[in-house]
Amino acid sequence: MRTTAASGAELLCQALRVSGVECVFGLPGTQTVAVHEALRRSGLRTVLATHELAACFMANGYYRATGRVAALLTIPGPGFAYALAGLAEASHDSAALLHLTVLPPDEGRRFPFQVIDQRAMAAPVVKSVLDLRRAGELPGGVAAAVALALAGEPGPVLLQVASALLGGAGGPTALDAPPAGVSPQAPADPAQLDRVAGLVAMAERPVLLLGQGAAGAAAEVRDLAETLGAPVVTTTSGRGILPEDHRLAMGFDLAQGGTRVVNELFRSCDCILALGCKLGGGLFALDLPADRLVHVDASGAVLGANYPARATATCSVEVMLAHLAGVRPALRARWAPGTVETWRLRLRDRRGNAGPEPRVHGVTPRTAAGLFAAIDRALPRDAVVVADSGLHQDLVRRHHDVLAPRGLIVPTDFQSMGFGLPAAIGAKLAAPQRPVVAVLGDGGFAMSGLEVLTAVRERLSIPVVVFNDGRLNRIRLQQLATHGRTESVDVLNPDFAAFADAVGAGYERVDGDAEGTLRRALGAGRPTIVEVLLDDSGAIHASRATGLARSAARRALGGRLAEWLRRRTRGR
């Protein structure tokens, strides 16, 4: 066992390394000067963001691309508070990260400088809040926080370190002690494993439903799907676990509407094996019959939370698949020849039926489908596409095929705008060997565009595809469909070419060769802003006219008749 004498800040950095943390995002401040000096000498990578919210999104993207934990370091008070929306996003997205901040001293006086009740504010959006007040607690406490972030359903953990501890001498402390303070994951119940395996073995028409929790077992999932001949449906975060050009991949994003066909598939099967998904967020329209649902997740809290199941198992997907491999001779399926392919074609045909889309300049045909067909031709199979919140995300999810695990990263269950670019930076830092592309709307760019500076500073080759329509278009389309008029959705964009030049980034505009444009941006060796111009299609104009008619009907006919008209026009 190795020992050393070190300051509290040095012990903190050493504990991070021992716990597997390699990257720390954040901004320095008065209360963290000692920590940043220790970081400078620690060998840990530090990444300076423009603000703490972006730093938190970076840590989210880092985890989502690799399954590894990164740290977020903020000062207490304003720095901590600025990161709160990012912690909520990580909580909803099941993204593990460690938020380090300072526990201010209790001076026994009211109205202290920059002090707020951080524990109370963070409690609803983190898995736990841990306070460390003595140097001897640092190694075990950091290890415990990292283990807790990863245990069960992954999520953020807040670790508050006493300010007096950071600058003081830590004294001799073991640096390679095992994690303390967090009970290890309980072993899987053999009876649960056997029950699940028995139901899967008896199934004649099984379907696999995959979530992010299955991303670390992609090869085993593929083997199981092919053994069963089972159709594979995924949550948004589970896309790519089975490549979407595979014959068993249904290739449909459950949150993009059209769940009627998915529900028909579920009703036609006799076993739905849900692996590593909490069945929350945008999935409440799913029809998952309790007599057919078999649910496996590392977090017992998600089992039965929204959908009762015939059988459950509290364990990792890897443990469940290893158990199923042991009974492989008993596994089989009897889907009628051609049936799975028919379902696949039906679901893929639904991609174009999710609402009006803008017209895209510089591609043929001038559609989002045409743009993403070109982008997909340019991207290697292991590429990671990171999208922000907005209409562009809908288009990514509708038209982009995900061909590798963790190949699509979006703010799934909290939908924070400003997420896309910083999350892409985190993903690229975590997986530098994988091509990473950020896709943003111009509204999201207005929130996070200065993070291009971070990408330039870190020398990251990231194409930043910006949809330039001058509007918050997802909300605008809702306003048009409902009222035929808009309010507070027009944005003023910069000259993107001039912006790129000012911050040291490259610039391209899609104008006739989208595939070649993206290939150049991927090989540029620096971040490149790729501008895509959009305007209204005929379908959007028709939506505006329908919205105006609805609005006029509401004024003329009153509420009840207007509601009847709304239902009639929606069903056409």
Query: Do 522 and 405 fall into the same domain?
Result: yes
Same domain membership, residue 339 and residue 214: yes
368-378 vs 391-399: helix crossing angle, rounded to 10:
60
pLDDT at 106: 75
Whether residue 502 sits in one domain with residue 412: yes
Query: Is the residue at 552 inside a domain?
Result: no
On whether both 165 and 81 belong to a single domain, the answer is yes
Instruction: Measure CA 15 to chain center.
Output: 27
Per-residue model confidence (pLDDT) at position 353: 62
Position 46 scores a pLDDT of: 98
The CATH number given to whatever domain includes residue 491 is 3.40.50.970
Tokens matching residue 353: 């039926």
The answer to whether residues 315 and 418 belong to one domain is no
- Measured CA to CA, the distance from residue 550 to residue 429 in angstroms comes to 49
- What is the number of other CB atoms lying within 10 angstroms of the CB of residue 274? 27
CA dist 212 and 224 (Å) reads: 17
**Partners of 234 in the β-ladder:** 210, 253
- Domain-located, residue 363: yes
- Residue 374 in domain: yes
On whether the CB atoms of residues 148 and 89 are closer than 8 A, the answer is no
Question: Is 198 domain-assigned?
Answer: yes
Q: Would you state the structure tokens that stand for residue 104, as one six-digit string?
A: 């201010």
Q: How many residues comprise the chain?
A: 572
Which CATH number does the domain housing residue 323 bear? Answer: 3.40.50.1220
Is residue 558 a part of any domain in this protein? no
In a domain, 541, yes or no: no
Name the nearest CA neighbour of 458 among 55, 30, 52: 55
SS3 160: strand
- What one-character-per-residue DSSP string does 380-442 give? -TT-EEEE-SSHHHHHHHHHPPP-STT-EE--TTT--TT-HHHHHHHHHHH-TTS-EEEEEEH
Cα 447 to its chain centre, rounded Å, is 18
Q: Residue 365: which H helix or E strand, with range?
A: none
Q: Which of 199, 340, 323, 220 is nearest to 273 (CA)?
A: 199
Picking from 174, 208, 230, the residue at the C-terminal end of a domain is 174
Give the end-to-end CA distance of the chain in Å, rounded to a whole number. 73
Query: In the structure encoding, which two tokens stand for residue 415, read together?
Result: 């939908």
CB atoms within 10 A of CB 385: 28
Is 265 in contact with 233 (CB distance < 8 Å)?
A: yes
Distance CA(198)–CA(211), nearest Å, equals 22
Degrees to nearest 5, angle at CA 440 with 402 and 285? 55
Check if the beta carbon of residue 75 is closer than 8 Å to that of residue 101. yes
Same domain? For 373 and 469 the reply is: yes
Six token digits for residue 253: 């994003």
**Pair 254, 363 in one domain:** no
Task: Output the six-digit token pair for 38.
Answer: 């220790």
- Residue 276's domain comprises 190-350
In this prediction the pTM is: 0.93
Show pLDDT as tens, one digit a residue, over the chain (572 residues): 455 567 899 999 999 999 999 999 999 999 999 999 999 999 999 999 999 999 999 999 999 999 999 999 999 999 999 999 999 999 999 999 999 999 987 767 788 888 899 999 999 999 999 999 988 899 999 999 999 999 999 999 999 999 988 876 555 444 444 444 455 567 899 999 999 999 999 999 999 999 999 999 999 999 999 999 999 999 999 999 999 999 999 977 765 666 888 999 999 999 999 999 999 877 888 999 999 999 999 999 999 999 999 999 999 999 999 999 999 888 888 899 899 999 999 887 766 567 899 999 999 999 999 999 999 999 999 999 999 999 999 999 999 999 999 999 999 889 999 999 999 999 999 999 999 999 999 999 999 999 999 999 999 999 999 999 999 999 999 999 999 999 999 999 999 999 999 999 999 999 999 999 999 999 999 999 999 999 999 999 999 999 898 888 878 776 666 566 667 665 54
Q: Could you give the number of structural domains in the chain?
A: 3
Q: Is residue 512 part of a domain?
A: yes
Residues 163 and 311 in one domain: no
Distance CA 365, CA 266 (A): 35
170 domain residue, yes or no: yes
DSSP class of residue 504 equals T
Beta bridge partners of 132: 161
Instruction: Supply the pLDDT for residue 552.
Output: 86
Indicate the residue among 350, 371, 404 that finishes a domain: 350
184: exposed, middle or buried (C-beta count within 10 Å: 0-12, 13-18, 19+)? exposed
258 and 155 in one domain?
no
Q: Are residues 512 and 372 in the same domain?
A: yes
Residues 27 and 163 in one domain: yes
Q: How high is the pLDDT of residue 561?
A: 60
> Among 350, 384, 404, which residue terminates a domain?
350
**So what's the pLDDT on residue 421?**
98
Phi, psi angles (nearest 5°) of residue 19: -85, 0
Query: Please, what is the Cα angle at 82 between 44 and 74, to 5 degrees?
Result: 30
Binning the chain into helix, strand and coil, the percentages to the nearest 5 are 45, 20, 35
Regarding whether 363 and 333 lie in a shared domain, the answer is no
